[in-house]
Each structure stands twice: as structure tokens, then as C-alpha cells.
Amino acid sequence: MKKVVLLLMLVVIFPAITFAQGRNPAERRNPMTGRGGGLGSSSRGAQSSEELEDAPVIKQEIKNWVLTDDFTFADSVDVDTITTGVQLHNPIFHKSIAYIQTGNLGSPYQSQIISDQKWRNQFIFHNSLPYYFPTPEDKVFYNTRTPYTNLLYQSGGPKRRSEEVVGVLFTQNVNKDFNIGLKYNLYSTTGFYNAQNINNRNISLFASYSGQKYAIHTALLLNSTKQSENGGIFNDGFVIHGDKYPFEQPENIPVNFTTAGSKINNFRVFINQSLGLGSIKIKKKNTDIVEEEEVVAFNDTLNIMEGSKDSLMANLTLPEPLTEELATLPISTVYYTLQYEHDKREYSIDDLQQYMAPNIEKPYYNNVYIDSLQTRDSVRYNELTNTFQLKFNEEANSLFKFGVRVFISNSIKLYRMPAASYYDPDDREFTPQYLRSDTTLVTSFLGGQIFKNLGKNFWWNAGIKFYFQGYRAGDTELTGKINSSFKISRKDTAGVFAEGGFYLTSPELFQNKYFSNHIKWDNDFRTQKTLRVRGGLRIPTRRLELSAELRSITDHIYWNNEALPDQESGFIQIIELSLSKHFIWARVHSLNRLVYQMTSMPEVIPLPDFAGYSSNYYENKLFKVLTFQIGFDLRYHTKYYTPTYMPATGQFHTQNVRKVGNYPFIDLFLNFQLKRARIFVKLDHANQGFTGFDYFHTTGYPANPRSIKFGVSWNFYN
């Protein structure tokens, strides 16, 4: 296995080293401003004016970006250097203002805001852990003038039930065009309740190179999780009415399982290459379209307001002086992308008989299909995808002023899962003979996109993807985005944005077919039809965003009350209205997001009617070098039948046993920033006991009790 990993590392890194020569003067364009920013525009933290005076000049040292539009566009992202929001110790706080989770840091979770929910229609067993299983679409690439390192450490909870986070990011340029890097994250938590141990690890090796004609982005991603699956506490009343029971500590509360656990390993190889064809010389202008202080203030809000980053308006860059120069750009670019993914999930229960009838009055699982002594469910998934694309750059289209992209792709997927076991008639012990079922599926699709990423005031794109061969033949995706920026007064800039799509999506194999020790199904679901439209208005100078989203779904596939995949043939409509606003009074800040949702079938797609998040703090500076913030965060959502969790499949599913919500979570925090070091100390769930004891994320899974968290993030630029 070590030799295989070493060989794959060489496959990922060696092509970039081979072509590490030359320089590409062509600059990518920010989709909002239309201005060139190299491979990703200059990164700048969204800090207050006082913080910016002493902050490192990152914009002169680091450029970083993610690849969008099927890995054909380098979209800039910010280097995380701001003080605001450093107290958000849990990554899921950055993904949504309201969420369900099974307990402590690193556990499975699901957003309760429909626009924030992400679905990966592949290996469904880590859909509840998207942050801890990043994809190539999430990978950030760098270009640095000096070596850049970020060290992260967090800890919390009492020592016997502690949690720790360790993060290391290192990246360095070999020359002006070739960059390599390493990122490592560890999330290790014991949990306040029994059998809640979690160990999540992420390792990524990455490299990028951009020459005059040739460019390559490569990444090797290794993600894993090992989690105890306690199935939730045995009775919610043990927490809600804790004074009636003799449990002195949360870890003494009975749980459904003490010897159950799951392990997932995920391995990805990503290689994206591009070659410019032809050349054209154009006059390149940089135009100042927005005031610097407007962007700084607005991005400060965006980095805290979960959900706002999905809008293209979040990618504003700082203005550059008005200049004009000749740039040589390719007329067209050809792309080749190779992706390989391997996944394996194991779910196990030792000493299974102690959890089954008649040893327990209400067993968690009613069925045993393979082995009555222990559970050893194992599923595997492999996928190999090859994609070819041809892009005609909009700079070369002087007549219509837009670009065109066409592509074709093929994927091969191999699935392996348990099958009904075989018993040897001569075996007096009736030892089950474990069997496996293998399925291979192949599919191909083609598509195209037209786009306009240049200009000062208006940007758009429209695309189609059609599956013409294989098990997903007939599936279709029609997508589009528009974005704008315009002056509404001498000081104010506003923008209108909209995006949406129509999707015909076949069920994934694991939704149609599955067999395990306790759960099995054999379905023949129809194609799901989804229409999604989102739009809104953003005024950066007022730190304000209004947005609305509409989803219409037919033949929706979901997980029902029995924790089995099901399909609703009726028409489901969902509406979301969102308001984000950052208030500033002198040195007092209040960052707020309010969301209202309505679903026509809450028994199929349950959502809270209302959810809100508010971060309020006082900011000042001591001794002219130490910035500090002191304040509190508040999260709240209304009561509803929250989805609950099934350990055997790792899925959240509907339930109609108990409504959860109408409980505020309040955290007190103190943030510091001293030059390149950011530090936080917070009292998590400070209101425990003052606002009742019904502090559950969902049935069976209470939130952690009050505890102290600490963390430090330190950037180094040499």
C-alpha cells in the first residue's frame, strides 16, 4: 500500500515539476469586477481600518484561488486573517446559521437552511460529513512570494472529555509560476456523553503551475474518520428533567450503544491540465469601480454571515490604479481533467446480542439479516472520471463579447456491498459465510456553457449538461447565473444577482439498492425533477443583503421515518427569504442573518419556519498593537420535527416523535489579534440551565453542556 501511495504522489507532483518553466502573462478575471488578478486576485483580510495599519501586507505576497466552472476558471478567495469570527471554533458554524448534529466537534451534521444544504450524489455514506471530506472543488491553490505557513490549535471541555484541533498549512513557490503545498487537519474529541469518540483526519498534497501556454493543478486528498456511534441517549427526559435522575455527569447517561462504531476512508487523485491554443494581444484596463473602504466593511460581514459566500458578489476585489497595457492571451484553451476516488465505510457492533431482544425491551434494530453475534457492514466505492473541454476565451470574441465552453466526460463507478450470507449445511456452528455484491456502472455526458466574465457592470453565464449514455442516460442540468454592479449614489454601490437551474437526476445506486446486517432495501425510483431559482440585492456600502430562493421538486427522494430511502411523487414547493445586515455604532458591531422558510410537505422535507444568528461585540485596540473583541453569539430556530440520525447508514431521516427547537444557544467570547496571531477564548453554551434544559440538536442527541474553548491561529510569511 505504501508503494501505491508513493507512486500516486509522484503522478500528482511530477507533471507540475516537469513543466515548471516560463510565465503566463494572461491574467484570470474576477467574475465580479472583470479585472485581472492573476490566478486569483490579491487576497486581503476584511479588517477594520485600524487593524489594516498593522496587518501583514498579504496582498503583495499571496494569491489564492479555487477552480470553478468544471475547473476552467480560477476564482479568488480570501486569506483568513481577520479577527472577526475567529471564535467560531466549529467548522459547521461557517456553513450555516442553523444545523443538526449528533453531538461534539467533528460529528455528522446537516444544515437546517435549504439553500445551505449540499448533496453529493455519489458515495452517500459521507454526505453528513461534507466539511471533513473535501473535494477537488473545495481545494484552495496558492501562489506566494515567500513561504506561507498557518498553524492552528484549539482545545476545549474538561480534561476527561476534551476536544482538540490541530491544523497545519504550508505552501511555497519553487519559482514564480510553480507552487507546492501541504495541508493537515486533525479533529480529536472524546465527547461529553458516553461512546462519542471522534477522530477525523484530512491530509492534502497539492501543486500548481502556470506557464505561457501550459498550466496544471494537482492534488492528492486523504480523508478519514473513526467515530463511536452511540445511537443517541436512551431517553431525552434524562437531560430535559435531569433533576429527577441520579446522573451526576453527562457521560453517565445511558446510550443505545457502547460498542458500535463507523470508519470511513476517502482517497482522491485530481489532475487538471490546460493548454492555450493560438494567441491574441489586447489592451488590458483596470478600472476602479468600488471604494476600498466599502469592500473592507462588506467582506467583514461576509466572512461571518454563513450562506452569503455562495453569491458571486462575495468575490469583490480591492480597486487597482487605472492602467493600460498589452497582454497576450490564448484564443482558446483545451483542458483535460483526471479524477479518481476510492471510498470505504465500515459499520460495526461488538457483542450484538446484548442490544437485541430479549436482552433489551426496545431494541434499536429489529432485524438481523447476516450475523446475530456481531455487525460488520462494509461498503466500497471507486470512481474514475475523464473530462475533455475546449474553451474559446471571450477576449478573442470581438463580435459577441462572450466566451464559449464545450466538454465531454465519462465516469466508471464500481460499487461493493454485503449480500445475503450463505450457511454451510455441514457447519454445526451455523457460521455465516459473508458474501459481497459488486456492480459496475458507466455513464457519459456532454455539455456546454456561454459566459461573460469581463466588464465593469454585468456578468453572466448559462450552461447545459446532458447524460447521453449509461445508467444516467437522459439526466439533464440547465443552469445559469447573472450578476451586476452599479452606483446608486456617490458613495453607494449595489448589485443584483440571480442564479438557478433545472435538474433531472437519477437516483444513486445506494438509494436504489442496499443490503446490510440490520437494514436493506431494493427500490426502483424514478428520476427526480428539481427547479431552483435564487436572487437578491446586495449593497456593500450598507453591509446589507436581501435574497430569496424558490425550489420546486417532483419525485423527491428522501429518508423516511423508518430510516429507509423513499420517494414522494407529489409536488413539493419550498420558499426561503433571507436578510443579512451588519450594524456598526462607534466601536460596537452587530452582525445578523435572519431566514424564513416555508415547505409544502414538512413531513418529507422538514425545515424550521424561522432561524436567526446574531454576533455582537465591542472592538478596540490596546497599546496600539493588540486588537480585541468582546461579545456574544446567539443562534435560534423555531420548533419542528427535526430529522434524526441513523448510525447504520450515516443518514439523517425524518421523524414524527418529538419537535426540537425554540431554544437559544448563547456563546460568550473574547478575541485577540496581535500582529499575525489570532486568539479566542469563549464560554460555549453559556446559557445552559438559564433557558431550560431542552437543548437538543435532534431527538436522542443533546447539545454539549457549558464549557470553555480556546484557540490560536498563527500566520507566518517566511
Q: Which pLDDT does position 299 carry in this prediction?
A: 44
Mark out the alpha helices in 419-500 (DSSP H runs).
none
The whole-number pLDDT of residue 360 equals 87
Strands 565-585 vs 588-599: parallel, antiparallel or unpaired: antiparallel
Q: With cut-offs at 50, 70 and 90, classify the pLDDT of residue 211.
A: confident
Q: pLDDT band for position 121 (50/70/90)?
A: low
Distance, in Å, from the CA atom of 633 to the CA atom of 648, rounded to the nearest integer, reads 34
Has residue 409 got a pLDDT over 90? yes
Q: Please count the residues of the chain.
A: 718
CA distance 307 to 305: 6
User: Has residue 25 got a pLDDT over 50?
Assistant: no
The mean predicted confidence, pLDDT, of the chain is 85
> DSSP secondary-structure letter at 525?
P
- What does the pLDDT read at residue 289? 38
Closest alpha carbon to 700 in 649, 639, 657: 657
Rg of the chain over all Cα atoms, to the nearest angstrom:
26
Q: Long-range pairs for 356-364 at CB < 8 Å and ≥24 separation?
A: 364/231, 364/256, 364/257
- Three cell numbers at 61? 505576497
Where residue 266 falls (left for φ over 0; alpha for ψ -120 to 50; beta otherwise) is beta
**pLDDT above 90 covers what percent of the chain?**
68
3-class state of residue 8 by DSSP = helix
Strand ranges (E), 160-213: 163-173, 178-189, 198-210
Query: For residue 634, what are the CA distances in angstroms to 99, 112, 515, 664?
Result: 13, 16, 43, 7
**DSSP per residue, 354-419:** GGSTTSSSS-S----SS-SS-EEEEEEEEEEEEEEEEEE-GGG-TTT--EEEEEEEEEEEEEEEEE
Rounded to whole angstroms, the Cα distance separating 27 from 223 reads: 33
Whole-angstrom distance, CA of residue 405 vs CA of residue 390 = 6
Higher-pLDDT residue of 63, 26: 63
255 located within any domain? no
**Dist CA 443 CA 23 (whole Å):** 38
**Residue 298 per-residue DSSP state:** H
The answer to whether 306 touches 94, Cβ cutoff 8 Å, is yes
CA angle 192, 198, 200 (to 5 degrees): 145
Contact in structure between 205 and 184 (CB atoms under 8 Å): no
Q: How many CB atoms lie within 10 A of CB 431?
A: 12
Grid coordinates representing 152 are: 492552528
Q: Which helix (H) or strand (E) holds 272?
A: strand 260-277
Backbone angles phi, psi at 114, to 5 degrees: -60, -40
Closest CA to 303 of 678, 686, 707, 685: 678
**Cis amide bond preceding 363, omega within 30:** no
d(CA 617, CA 632): 6
For residue 309, the enclosing domain spans 2-245+270-707
What pLDDT band is residue 488 in, cutting at 50, 70 and 90? confident
Cα distance between residue 692 and residue 664, in whole Å:
10
* CB atoms inside a 10 Å sphere around CB 325: 10
Q: List all residues 6 or more positions away from 199 whose beta carbon is below 8 Å from its beta carbon.
A: 106, 186, 187, 188, 225, 226, 227
CA distance 564 to 370: 18
Rounded Cα–Cα distance for residues 296 and 25 (Å): 28
User: Is 700 domain-assigned?
Assistant: yes
pLDDT above 70: percentage of residues in the chain: 83
**265 within some domain:** no
- Cα separation, 54 vs 51, in Å, equals 6
CA 593 to CA 547: how far, in whole Å? Answer: 11
Question: For residues 180 and 173, what is the distance between their CA atoms, to the nearest angstrom?
Answer: 6
- What is the phi/psi pair of residue 51, to 5°? -65, -35
In a domain, 718, yes or no: no
Rounded Cα distance, 476 and 69, in Å: 17
> pTM here?
0.85
Identity of residue 119: W
Rounded-to-integer distance, Cα 594 and Cα 612, Å: 5
Residue 330 lies in a domain: yes
d(C-alpha 160, C-alpha 70), whole Å: 46
Over residues 657-686, the pLDDT tens digits come to 999 999 999 999 999 999 899 999 999 999
Q: Are strands 476-484 and 486-487 parallel, antiparallel or unpaired?
A: unpaired
Give a three-class secondary structure readout of 474-530: CCEEEEEEEEECEECCCCCEEEEEEEEEEEEECCCHHHHEEECCCCEEECCCCCEEE
To which residue does cell 427522494 refer? Answer: 557
The pLDDT value given to residue 306 = 43
DSSP 255: B
Give pLDDT tens digits for 509-555.
999 999 999 999 999 999 999 999 999 999 999 999 999 999 999 99
Q: Helix, strand, coil shares of the chain as percentages rounded to 5?
A: 10, 50, 35
Residue 200 domain-assigned (yes or no) = yes
What DSSP designation does 350 have? S
Task: Name residues whose C-beta falls within 8 Å of residue 297's C-beta, 6 or more positions apart in sequence.
Answer: 46, 540, 541, 543, 582, 584
**Overall domain count for the chain:** 1
Closest-CA residue to 77 (of 52, 106, 44): 44
Would you say 406 and 387 are in contact if contact means Cβ atoms under 8 Å apart? no
Residue type, 65: W
Q: Is residue 161 part of a domain?
A: yes
The CATH number for 374's domain is 2.40.170.20
- Model confidence pLDDT, tens digit, residues 259-309: 999 999 999 999 999 999 988 877 665 543 333 333 443 444 444 444 433
Query: What pLDDT is attached to residue 429?
Result: 62
* CA–CA gap between residue 619 and residue 108 (Å, rounded): 34
Give the three cell numbers for residue 587: 466601536
C-alpha closest to that of 99 among 306, 256, 310, 262: 306
pLDDT at 379 over 90: yes
DSSP for 438-459?
EEEEEEEEEEEEEEE--SSSEE
pLDDT at 137 over 80: yes
Which of these ranges, 71-80, 311-320, 626-635, has the smallest mean pLDDT? 311-320
pLDDT reported for residue 26: 33
Q: Which residue has the higher pLDDT, 636 or 9?
A: 636
Average pLDDT over residues 125-138: 92
Give the dihedral sign, CA 128/133/137/138.
Answer: positive
Q: Is position 260 within any domain?
A: no
Question: Is the pLDDT at 113 greater than 80, yes or no?
Answer: yes
Supply the pLDDT for residue 284: 62
Q: Is 300 exposed, middle or buried (0-12, 13-18, 19+ CB in 10 A)?
A: buried
Taking the C-alpha atoms of residue 318 and residue 297, their distance in angstroms, rounded to an integer, is 12
User: Strands 493-505, 520-522: parallel, antiparallel or unpaired by DSSP?
Assistant: unpaired
